[in-house]
Structures are given as structure tokens and as C-alpha cells.
Structure 1
Amino acid sequence: GRPYRSHLRPACDACRRRKSRCTTTESSDACLMCQVHGSQCVFVDSDQSRRRKVPTPHGRASSYTESGGSNVDHDDTSISMAYSGETHTHNALSDGQSHHHGPAVLVDPGRPHASAITGSTEEASMSAMLAESGDSNTHIISPAIVDDNEELDSYLSSNPAVGIRRITRTSSTSTNIGPSSRRVLFNTVLKKPLGIHARQSLAASKLEVIEKLLEPHGTVLIDLHTSFRRTYSEHKDRLSPALLSNLYANAMTYWNNSPQLRSCHPPDHRFIWVQANEALHSELFLSPGISTVISIILNVHGRPSTSMFGNGGMVGTAVALSNSLGLNRDCSAWDISPGEKALRSRIWSIVVLMDRWTSLAYGTPLLIHRAQYDVPVPSKEQLAQPNASIAQYAGLSIFLAMLTLTDVLSHYLENVYCISRTSPIDRPPTSSFHLETLLTDWEDSLEDDIRRLVIRGNDLDRAGSGNLRLSYLAVKLLLRRILCDTTNATTENEGAVQARLQTQRVAEEIVLLVQELSHSHLRGFWMPSNGFTLTSATLFLLRDALKTTNRTRNTSLKLAKDMMSSLQTHRVNDSWDLADDCLSNCTDMTDRIEAGRTFESPGMIESQYFIDNNSLMFNDPVLGFASAFDFDLENFQWNETT
């Protein structure tokens, strides 16, 4: 039966819905049950609570809307956007931070285009996309049923009380745009599971713990992400707790880069990552949105990278969320502010980048296929912030080179993971000329200074340049390994030896790069996935060392030892966590192979380490084939004075 309550002390609204006993204490404004469930404790007026409710014929969806009306933001109307640019209001593209209730309002045809919106309005729209989302969000509709909207729209009510799913009419010109796959239609769905009414989320409590640990240095830590500083200072109270939690955890890697922070003892980085992980998982369950995608990028590519399974699952979640939010569609002609266009394009570009490089690092197939998105690579003008400095423009050049290099990598990964035997016609081109041309054309497309940086390793003091150079060598190493395997399968021994030597040369370039890294380089920006590149290069050298019959000089073994020595130095002197994977996987193996060459003949070495040689193929994701990254590559500059 239902618990007894005195009419003088009525239960709170949440306990009424739960039919649970409402017990209050003097020390807290919330009842005990609301504290346990983390829900908002509201005591409604007794006269209002006794008001007779009129039954509704709309079933469960309507009753849910009535009973938990505060949990549905009706301003988040479904929207349809065609490439004509005549679309619904851009506010529905945000995560849904709305404080109004009422029917949907279509865009006034006489309203100025989004490009005429003032800078403050653009800033507000961008902050809304990053803000902690409400209870509803826009979700893309399958292109296969877009045309159905034209026929059924007049029969679907736009009254918010009807239910959660509502469709509004597109502009009259959208029917002549082209095939239905070219048009984009969204509708509004609830983000929280039915029955969840909590306002005080776990993510907010985890953020509070992190900020308490960081006091009074939280603002200084955020300043390391210079491009995020303005949003943080002006809209902190509206930002997603999960986003802020993961931003803090991500920035902790660069604690010693700040003159103000390096003299202070940092809090436990591992514990802060645990809190950030819990905040992210809570938001994924309660209120996923665009801010969640950014949080995943920060989380998966935060350093140190320790969970391959967890990160791989998060990448899949980010891809699924991005597709659901329509980030995979070109928004250049949508009637939204330029700020929103740039942010959506940037987020999608980094999601693609994340998918490609984690695929290379973890040895898993691509989750995003080039035929399933039409977002172009953003230009430097689109990404540049107003009044950007020369250093920021230089960072943008590095970032854009990284994006185009990622496209080359995707071609190679498609070749690597094309394992189906049922449709040989669909297999990508595998000729050596075609594969090499892809990378050569990319090199020729670069600006002169970026080309010298990539090919020769010049000017590594530029922000992100060391990471770009290592990423280029990772792609080049993958290419050489693909060609090496192809040569082994199709030519005689002489061609195979030549291919192996070319692969060894690339691995040697990686070793030389690691040896040349200085303190300032090591504390800069690095994608964690490149830690697997170091492992891949070392394992190839060790494998090659086992095949060398020259007892007096084994170049591959010497290079492997040089790699281990340099990584050990960087780890001890600069806490460079990218060295961890290679050191843990290759140190013992290098020592054993060196010991074997000292006391055994070459023939006995190969026999003794036959099992280890095979194990290299399983430990190295690229060898079979395959090789996590930070957010905000293009503007990642340190606010530091030396």
C-alpha cells in the first residue's frame, strides 16, 4: 500500500511519483530519498497537488510529459535542414539548454541569415552547444524516410503535449534540392531513460570533487587550453560537468608547463582521471549530446593512455553519437551561425582523426567510412579565431596537415582491413604505385615550411610539429610494411630484401627522431596513439635483428637498443608517458636477443627465439597490420613565459 503522509507535511513531488516515504531532516533541504536518488526535492503547493487531473487520450508518452513536464524542453523542436539554407532555427542544434515551453516556431522568412548574427549571438550559440544539455535533444532521421515527412506532416500535430516525437515542415524549396539522401531531418527525443528525473547528476558531484582537489589552481590549469579560456570564463556555469571534468584531467598532463603550477605539488592525476571517467559515464547514461562527444575525445586521448578496451569502446560511442547528432553531414549551407558551423566541422574532423589513429594503434577496423559522411576538411579561415596570433595560425597549419595526413592513413587502413573474400571487386587498389602515390601527393600538397618539417624534421619547436613528424613516419612505416608483405607474396628474395631494408630505414628515422627530442619538445603536444608507433618500430627492428646473419654488426639490434635507451632517458627525465608501452613490451625482449647474440651462433639464435619472433606479430598491432590524442590540436599553445 502507499505510505502514510500527514496532510500537514506532504511528501515531495519525487517521493509521490516513487510512492516512497518522504523523510526530511533539519540539516538538509532535500529529503532522504531524494539524497539517495540524487533527484531534485521539490514540495509542491498542497492546493495544486489536490487539483484534479484531466485524463488524456494520448497514452504513456503524454502522461509522462504531464507528470514530468519539467524534464522535457519543448523548445527543442524537431528540425529539418536542406541545402537551400532555408531551415528552422539553429537553437535546436544545440544540446537543448532551454527554459521555455511551448509549441515549435518556424523561422520567419524575413529573418536575416545566420551570417548577419552579431558576434555575441554567435558566442551564445556556440556556448549553448557546449552547455550541459536539457532532457531532450535533436536526433537525425534516416534519409530513407525524409520524403515521408512531406506527405504526413499535415497529419502530425505540432502540439508538445501530444508526445515526444514531432516533425515540422521543411521549407517549400527543399523538395527540389535533390535526392532525399541530400536532405537532413531531425526530430526531438528524450535523452534520459524513462523514469529518470534526477537533476543533480553524478557528473556534477564528480566535478565538484575535482575542482576541490585543484583549488586554487583550476583557472590556471584551464588557461593551458588557450582556445577554451573565453568559453570557460564566460559560460562556466552552463558547461557540461563531464566536459569540464575531462578537460581538467586532460590538462593535468601539462601541469609542469605552467610557471605558476610547476612550483606547486599536483594532485593525484590517476584519481582525477577516475572521477572524470565516472562523470563521463554518468552523462552518457543521463544526457548525451555534443558536449559528450567532446568529453570522449578528451578522455580517450588523454594521457597517460592505459585502457585499450575502454578507449576503443568510447571511440565507438563517440562515432555513434556524432552520427545521431548529424555531425557527419555538411552544414555549410544550413541556416546556423558561422560559429556553430565551425564547431560542428571541427568536432567531426577530430572524431574522424580519433577513429583513424586509434584504429592504427589498437589494430581494429575503421568505424567511419568515407562514403558515409560529406563534411569537407575545414579551412584555416574557418578554424581561425578572431584576432588569432601568428603562433595560433602556425598551429592551424600543423593541425590541417594532420587532418589531410589522416585521410591518407584511412586509405592504407582500408587496404589493411579489407579481409572479405566474397566481394573482390570492392577491394581497394593494392598496387605499389597507387599506395606510394597517395603519400607522395600529400607531401607535395604541403606548404614549404610544413613539407621541410615533415620530411626532414626541421623546426620541431613549432607547436605540434614533433607529433606531426612522428605521425608522418607512422604512416610511412605502415606503407612500407604493406609493400613489404606484398613483395614477400609476389616476388623473389631480392625484392623482399629490398622492401625490408626500406622498412628498416623508416624505423631508423623514428629512432633518430626520438633521440633528437629535447625537453621542450617532450612537454609539448603528443597523440598517445604515437606511443604505439614507437612500439611498432622497435618490434620490427627486433624481428629484423633475428634474421640478421652478420655476427659482427647487427644494425637493427643496435637501433632497437638506441630506441630503448632514449625512451628510458625521456621517461626518467621528463616523465614522457608515450615511452611506457614500448619500454614495457620491448625492454626484456631486447635484452634477451642481445644476450642470445653474445653467446650463441646465429642459427641457434633463430631457433631459440622462434616463439618470441612469432609473438612479435601479435604484440605489434601494425605488424599484422595496424600502430590516444588530445583535443584542440589546431590552437594548442602554451601560455608560458620562460
Structure 2
Amino acid sequence: MQNYRQARDDLPSPVSEIMTGYPRRLSVNANGSSEIPSSNLGKTMSPKIGPLFLNFLPPNWTDNSQIASARIQLFSGEGGSNRQDVSVVSLEAVENLVTPFGPTLLEKYFRHFHPTFPIIMEGGFRSSYKERNGISALLLGAMYLVGLKWLEPESGVQTLRPPDAIGLEALVCRNLNESLSRPGLATVQAGLLLSQKSSLFTPRLMAQLVTAGFDLGLHQDCSTWQIQCWEKGLRKRLAWALYMQDKWCALVHSRPSHIFASNWAVKDLTIDDFENTTRSAASAASSASITTLSSLSSHKFGCLFFRQFVKLTRILSDIIESFYTLEATQQLSASHENGTHIILSKAKPLQIQLKDWFSQLPAELKVDTDCGVEAGPSGGIHLAYFATEIMLHRCIVRSLSPDTADQYLTHICRSAAKTRLISAMEFVNRLRPIHLRAFWPAAAMSNFALIGAFGILLQTTAPTQEEEEFYRSRLREYRWTLSVSRRDAGFLDFAIDTLGEVTKLVRNQPQKPAFQEFMNHSFLYRPPDSGLINRLDCHSGVRLREQSMASSPISQQGDAYNGSDEYENLPGCTRMHSRSSLPDTKSGLMSPTASASSASTSRRR
């Protein structure tokens, strides 16, 4: 009984892990899964098995035993399991669905997808693929499925039997469901590849993958584990890939995230974690007949892309946690008229982080007109940046109320939101076929729709007819841009359809006052001694810097930071602004004249 109490009272660990003195490693998993790498924590959550008990097992112990809900699993010194693959799907079954395009699909995968989502050891996989030894049928099927996107007619698909995409997807999904009961690293790898397919990017799949990742200890710091360096790097990349997919899935589907900072010990990625992600130079030279990216440039771009996407996703996670959880929304709702000031105080550090992230973006990730083919996927990370900006400003705009919000504060907030919206639309307008045909993360489909939805939000909350018409015009232009771009990116149909459906919902909106009528109403009901529209609530501790509507960053070309600094200079309370610092009287909250100054766009393809 004393030993049972000792095991039960051990400090709980999110994943049960054991370190023994033997050359091999023994692991206890409270969830009944296998392939749990060990760490030096020496603790287990299982109430029936304590770390001390495993020290009495004989050195030649080879039996995988299960006691109630806990499984004892043997691991080799290299981090591998002695569990045999229980998959009922054979490599032949997978190959038969894509023959004779298997090698071509694999090349498409490593050329277009792998550099920006390096969750597989390319060199090792190619060797195993060539020898047809040690390959997971589940993982190979998922790689084939991803590669189908870039299978072009010149590959012979018109003269030969085309790959059975529907059958392959069904086979891989069925195999994944079977594998999730006893996951391995290949299970998470295949699941992450499937999650990049928009139709499979579901909360259910992500919940299963996060659970499998926790079973495998991917949320732990593996830097001190007795495994090889390449496996440490692979585990960290898998962990952060899982983190990113979980957070973006939360945004896309409006579901809670499954990963929390308090239960996440994975270290930041370094350049060393990306070693051996590409095939060796000798291997690349032997395949010179196949047109591929330069190994060096592809590797460098992939490292930068993946690491920067992780940093951006962590900012997105903070935004979701600060503004979009149930607790956060309840607190903001209870704050009533102070809600906007509270939101701005929380938004300030996040806005600074976003600006710093963008300003420190490597030149290789810029969306320039003269970019090389290796920079094609950079559009995905820029779109994610604008989606993150919009998530921040959408919360601010929603908090504004004509009855309680200070008019000057409203002007500043809506001006900033307008800047973000037009910057995002201009970014979409600058995309070329080289970007549109490249890899786009699964969340991109919803991120394009998010831009349109944000425009409709600003349109419906516009205080005047002129401002409403301005956004209506920009949304028509945005829809046209998407329609033209869909020839190279069919997934844009979702954004086009969503924009059309949401537009229908606001057709019966009450008519708004004209600009002059609105200004007259503002003068009539403005508080005594409040100046024009410059009264600022001093108790909020917020000082907003004036931004003239006449100036617009849209005229800037390329990738200059398109944000503004409204929320970055909020040191403390100051008295009223002088009238000389205010926008012209006729500018109002949204001057139609100033708005029109940035209304023109041109399609640069």
C-alpha cells in the first residue's frame, strides 16, 4: 500500500516518462499508447505503476505489458520501439492507386511542399523509398496525396490512368484512424500532412493529433534526452508544426485551442534543428535530371519560413487568449463603456510585437515582383500576418459604440482598421501566379475570406453613407481580384462564396446619414467644452497619437510595414489635444474625400 501511495503521489507529468540505468529505456504511458520517449523527469501519472517498480525488471525484458490503463513499452537506445507496425494497409495498396506517378508525386512533394513544412527527414526517406524498406504506408500515402496538387498534364496524366485521388484519400484517412489508437511519429507526420488539405483541416482531426503528440511527448523539452541530434530536431519541428496547426485551426473553426503555454516546454527552433531536412549533395547531384530547387536556397528559405511562421503563430495565440476565449469575452462584456480602453491597453504590446515581427522579416520572405521561384510560398506567411492583424483590430472595432465611445477614439480606431484592411487588399492585389500556385497553408482559404469579412464589418459599422459606399466599392474590387486569381488558386472560391453570402446578410441594413448630416448631429450632441471631436477620457490612461486620414501608406510599394502606430504610444493620461493637432473639421470620422484618395487599385500580375 505504501508503494501504491508513492506512485500515486509522484509529481504528475503531462506524459508519463521513465529513465532507467539500462542501455535501453522503459516508458509508462497512462493513455495506453506507445512510442513514448523518455526524459529525466522520472515521474508518472499512472496510479498503479511508479518509476521505482520498473527498476526491478530483468535486463532481458522484452514483453510489452499492460496494467489497467497504463502500458509498459520498451525503447531502444536510438529512440525506437520494438512494436511492430500493425497497419493493415500495404505499400502495394498505396502504390496501386497512383501508379505510375509515385516517384513523380514524391518529387513534387519535396519540391513544393517540404521546404516550407519540413516535418520529414528527406535524405532518410528517399533512401528507404528507394530500397522499399522501413517506409510507413500511411506516411507515403499522405505525401502522395499532398503532391497531387502539383501533378501537371505534362507528367503524362492525360495519356495514362490518372491517380485515384478519392480512393487514396479514403485509404489514408482510414489508415490514420487505425494508427491513432497506437500512434508513432509517422502517425503525427501523416496527420499533419492531411491537415494541410482544407477539407480535412477539422477540429476533430487536430484534437486527435494533439492527443497523439502528447502521447509521444512532443510537448516536452527533448534537449536532454538520450537520442540523436537529428531526432531532437525532428521532434521539435513536429512539435511546432502541431502547435501552428492547432492555433490556426482554432481561428478558422472558432474552437478552443488544445495547447496551452503552461503545458508546453518545447524550446525555440534554431538553425541546427533543420539539419538533415534535405537530401545530401551527392544524392541531389545523382537526380540532376529532375528540375528541383537549389538544395541550399530551398533549405535556407524553408528554415526562415518555418521559424517565422512559428513566431507569428505565437503572437496569434496571445491574441486569441487575450480577446477570443470565453473568459476574455465575458470580462470585456462586463466592462461596458470601458471595454474599448481595456482592449486597447491589451492590444498595445501585441501590436508592437506584430510590428517588430514584420520589420524583422528576412528579405528572402518578401513578396516582391522580382522574387525567385523559391520565394513563391512566401505569400502564405504574409497572408497569415494580415489575418493576425485583422483578428486584433476586429475586436477593437466590435467594441466601439456610437452611444458611449469617444468620437476621437472612434476616429483613431476606425482609421487604423481601415489602414489594415486596405493593406491586406493591396497585398492580395500584388500576388502573382508564382505565389498563387505555390504552397498555401490550410488556413489560407479562411484567411482570404477573413479579409472580406472584416471589410463588411467596417462597412456595416460605418457611420455615414459615404464611408459605407467606400467600403462597398473596395469590397467589389477585392471580389474581382479574387475572381481573377482563382485561375491559379482554386481554393479562393471559398472566399468568393463567403463574401457573397455575408453581403446578402447586410442588404437590409438601415440607411445611414449623409456625411454632413452626421457632422451636424455630432455638433448638436457633443458634450459641453469638449472641443470638436477631441475629448479623450483621461481616466483610461490611454493617449492615442493623431493620424491624419489624408495620408495613406498604400502608396508604398513592396513590403513596407503597412501598419500604423496608434496603439504603440500609450504611456499615460494626457490632457486634451490642442485643436491645431486635430484633423480638419470636414474630415469627420471618415472623410469621403480622404477615403477616396486611396480607392484606386491596379492589378499587377
Corresponding position of 1:278: 174
The structure 2 residue matched to 1:587, chosen from 486, 492, 500, is 500
Report the alpha carbon displacement of residue 494 of structure 1 after superposing the two structures with TM.
3.3
CA distance in 1, matches of 2:156, 2:225: 43
- 1:420 and 2:323 aligned: no
Q: Which amino acid aligns with 2:313?
A: T
Q: Which amino acid aligns with 1:299?
A: L
CA distance in 2, matches of 1:552, 1:420: 34
Corresponding position of 1:233: 126
Corresponding position of 1:516: 430
| Residues 592-607 of structure 1 mapped to structure 2, 5 A cutoff | 602=512
| Residues 524-535 of structure 1 mapped to structure 2, 5 A cutoff | 524-535=438-449
| Residues 466-615 of structure 1 mapped to structure 2, 5 A cutoff | 466-486=379-399, 488=401, 491-548=405-462, 549-550=464-465, 554-571=469-486, 573-574=487-488, 576-590=489-503, 602=512
Report the alpha carbon displacement of residue 437 of structure 1 after superposing the two structures with TM.
2.3
**Deviation readout 1:192-250 (Å, 9 max, x if unpaired):** xxxxx99874433xx54442232111111101233665334321332221111111111
**Deviation readout 1:318-376 (Å, 9 max, x if unpaired):** 11111111111111122211111111111101000111111111111111011212111
Report the alpha carbon displacement of residue 317 of structure 1 after superposing the two structures with TM.
0.9
Report the alpha carbon displacement of residue 485 of structure 1 after superposing the two structures with TM.
3.7
Corresponding position of 1:436: 351
Mean alpha-carbon deviation: is it higher for 521-530 or for 581-590? 581-590
Corresponding position of 1:217: 101
Q: Which amino acid aligns with 1:320?
A: T
The answer on whether the counterparts of 1:327 and 1:345 sit within 8 Å (CA) in structure 2 is yes
The structure 2 residue matched to 1:375, chosen from 249, 254, 266, is 266
Report the alpha carbon displacement of residue 380 of structure 1 after superposing the two structures with TM.
1.8
The structure 2 residue matched to 1:347, chosen from 230, 234, 238, is 238
The answer on whether the counterparts of 1:221 and 1:248 sit within 8 Å (CA) in structure 2 is yes
Report the alpha carbon displacement of residue 551 of structure 1 after superposing the two structures with TM.
5.2
Q: Which amino acid aligns with 2:395?
A: I
- 1:188 and 2:73 aligned: yes
CA distance in 1, matches of 2:434, 2:428: 13
CA distance in 1, matches of 2:484, 2:250: 29
Cα 1:225–1:384 change in 2 (3 A) is farther
Report the alpha carbon displacement of residue 187 of structure 1 after superposing the two structures with TM.
4.1
The structure 1 residue matched to 2:193, chosen from 293, 298, 306, is 298
- 1:393 and 2:300 aligned: yes
CA distance in 1, matches of 2:424, 2:433: 17
Q: Give structure 1 stretches of 5+ with no counterpart.
A: 1-77, 94-134, 167-184, 191-196, 605-642
Cα 1:326–1:429 change in 2 (3 A) is farther
Cα 1:216–1:551 change in 2 (3 A) is same
Matched position secondary structure for 1:466:
helix
- 1:249 and 2:145 aligned: yes
Q: Which amino acid aligns with 1:436?
A: Q
What is the aligned-residue RMSD (CA, Å)? 4.1
CA distance in 1, matches of 2:228, 2:343: 38
Corresponding position of 1:203: 89
Percent sequence identity over matched residues?
Answer: 20
| Residues 355-370 of structure 1 mapped to structure 2, 5 A cutoff | 355-370=246-261
Cα 1:423–1:372 change in 2 (3 A) is farther
**Deviation readout 1:277-301 (Å, 9 max, x if unpaired):** 122122224x421111111101111
CA distance in 2, matches of 1:396, 1:138: 27
Report the alpha carbon displacement of residue 136 of structure 1 after superposing the two structures with TM.
5.5
CA distance in 1, matches of 2:370, 2:255: 33
Corresponding position of 1:80: 18
CA distance in 1, matches of 2:321, 2:103: 43
The answer on whether the counterparts of 1:330 and 1:376 sit within 8 Å (CA) in structure 2 is yes
The answer on whether the counterparts of 1:349 and 1:403 sit within 8 Å (CA) in structure 2 is yes
Q: Which amino acid aligns with 1:326?
A: G
The answer on whether the counterparts of 1:245 and 1:279 sit within 8 Å (CA) in structure 2 is no
Corresponding position of 1:633: none
Report the alpha carbon displacement of residue 581 of structure 1 after superposing the two structures with TM.
2.0
Corresponding position of 2:35: 137
The answer on whether the counterparts of 2:236 and 2:266 sit within 8 Å (CA) in structure 1 is yes
Matched position secondary structure for 1:520:
helix
More helix by share: 1
Report the alpha carbon displacement of residue 401 of structure 1 after superposing the two structures with TM.
0.9
CA distance in 2, matches of 1:486, 1:553: 19
The answer on whether the counterparts of 1:280 and 1:295 sit within 8 Å (CA) in structure 2 is yes
Which protein has greater RCO, CA pairs closer than 8 Å, 6+ apart?
1
Q: Which amino acid aligns with 2:218?
A: L
CA distance in 2, matches of 1:157, 1:261: 58
CA distance in 1, matches of 2:84, 2:227: 31
Cα 1:407–1:460 change in 2 (3 A) is farther
Matched position secondary structure for 2:441:
coil
Cα 1:369–1:553 change in 2 (3 A) is closer
The answer on whether the counterparts of 1:361 and 1:529 sit within 8 Å (CA) in structure 2 is yes
Report the alpha carbon displacement of residue 441 of structure 1 after superposing the two structures with TM.
3.3
- 1:329 and 2:217 aligned: no
TM-score, with length taken from structure 1: 0.60
Matched position secondary structure for 2:191:
helix
Cα 1:155–1:430 change in 2 (3 A) is farther
| Residues 142-181 of structure 1 mapped to structure 2, 5 A cutoff | 143=44, 149=50, 151-156=52-57, 160=61, 164-165=65-66
| Residues 315-326 of structure 1 mapped to structure 2, 5 A cutoff | 315-326=206-217
CA distance in 2, matches of 1:430, 1:532: 28
Matched position secondary structure for 1:138:
coil
The answer on whether the counterparts of 1:139 and 1:188 sit within 8 Å (CA) in structure 2 is no
Cα 1:540–1:200 change in 2 (3 A) is closer
Matched position secondary structure for 1:188:
strand
The answer on whether the counterparts of 1:415 and 1:430 sit within 8 Å (CA) in structure 2 is no
**Deviation readout 1:84-111 (Å, 9 max, x if unpaired):** xx88548x89xxxxxxxxxxxxxxxxxx
**Deviation readout 1:23-43 (Å, 9 max, x if unpaired):** xxxxxxxxxxxxxxxxxxxxx
The structure 2 residue matched to 1:288, chosen from 161, 173, 183, is 183
Q: Which amino acid aligns with 1:406?
A: T
Aligned length: 442
CA distance in 2, matches of 1:342, 1:592: 48
**Deviation readout 1:256-309 (Å, 9 max, x if unpaired):** 3x9635766743533432222122122224x4211111111011112xx2256x
CA distance in 1, matches of 2:490, 2:397: 30
Report the alpha carbon displacement of residue 457 of structure 1 after superposing the two structures with TM.
8.8
The answer on whether the counterparts of 2:220 and 2:265 sit within 8 Å (CA) in structure 1 is yes
| Residues 615-630 of structure 1 mapped to structure 2, 5 A cutoff | none
Corresponding position of 1:128: none
Q: Give structure 2 stretches of 5+ with no counterpart.
A: 1-15, 28-32, 76-82, 115-119, 282-294, 332-341, 515-605
